[in-house]
Amino acid sequence: MPRYYTEEHEWIDVDGDVATVGITDFAQGQLGDIVFVEVPDTGAELSQGGDAAVVESVKAASDVYAPVDGTVTEGNSQLEEDPALVNSDPEGEGWFFRLALSDKSQLDGLMDAKAYKAFCDAL
């Protein structure tokens, strides 16, 4: 299952026409202790680069953007009870939402793991 990354520190796992989106380990480390996550409603139409979710750390609220266009099929309801999952397992149990992809060609513009690592190292 290929995983892509954005310059806004989201990751996206693609499985056929459905993708799972979360924030990277680098991002959670920058945010610090996460106390609240607002995931999009099922059925929400997201467009690439638009607001998709909000993550609140102790110190600040941060927007999470949609890495690609799509329709939300599921938000991670576990984050409501346990937002700290984003700290403890950001690229696994701490996923944010799933969406049905509208335009798979948009994935071509994203980074792979190696490119993302190089991107973070340069920050």
Partner 1 sequence: MTETEQLDDDVAIEAATEVLPLDAWHRAKGGRMVEFAGYWMPIQYEGIMAEHLWVRENAGLFDVSHMGQLALSGDKVAEALETLVPGDISALKPGRMRYSLLLDEDGGILDDLMITNEGDQFGIVVNGAVKWEDIGHLRENLPDDITLNHNEDYGLLALQGPKAVDALARLVPEAASLVFMQAARATWNGHAIGLSRSGYTGEDGFEISLPNEALTDFADALCAMDEVKPIGLGARDSLRLEAGLPLYGHDLDPTIDPVEGDLAFAISKRRREEGGFPGAARILGHLADGSPRKRVGLLVDGKLPVRGGAKLFDGNTEIGVVTSGGFAPSVGAPIAMGYVPTGLSEPGTAVAAEVRGKRVACTVAAMPFVPHNYVRKTGA
Which residues bind to partner 1, rule: CB under 8 A? Answer: 8-10, 23, 27, 32-33, 35-36, 38, 54-65, 80, 83
Q: Min. distance of Cβ 84 from partner 1 in angstroms?
A: 9
Q: Using CA atoms, how far apart are residues 30 and 38, in angstroms rounded to an integer?
A: 18
Q: Kindly tell me the number of DSSP H helices and DSSP E strands found in the chain.
A: 4, 9
Shorter beta-carbon distance to partner 1: residue 1 or 60: 60
Closer residue to partner 1 (CB): 14 or 84: 84
DSSP-assigned letters across all residues of 11-45: EEEEETTEEEEEE-HHHHHHH-SEEEEEPPPTT-E
Closest approach, Cβ 41 to partner 1, in A, equals 12
Shortest Cβ distance from residue 102 to partner 1 (Å)? 21
Nearer of residues 17 and 45 to partner 1, judged by Cβ:
45
The conformation of residue 119, written as its DSSP 8-state character, comes to: H
Contacts of 77 (CB under 8 A, 6+ apart): 39
Minimum Å distance from CB 37 to partner 1? 9
**Closest to partner 1 by CB, 81 or 121:** 81
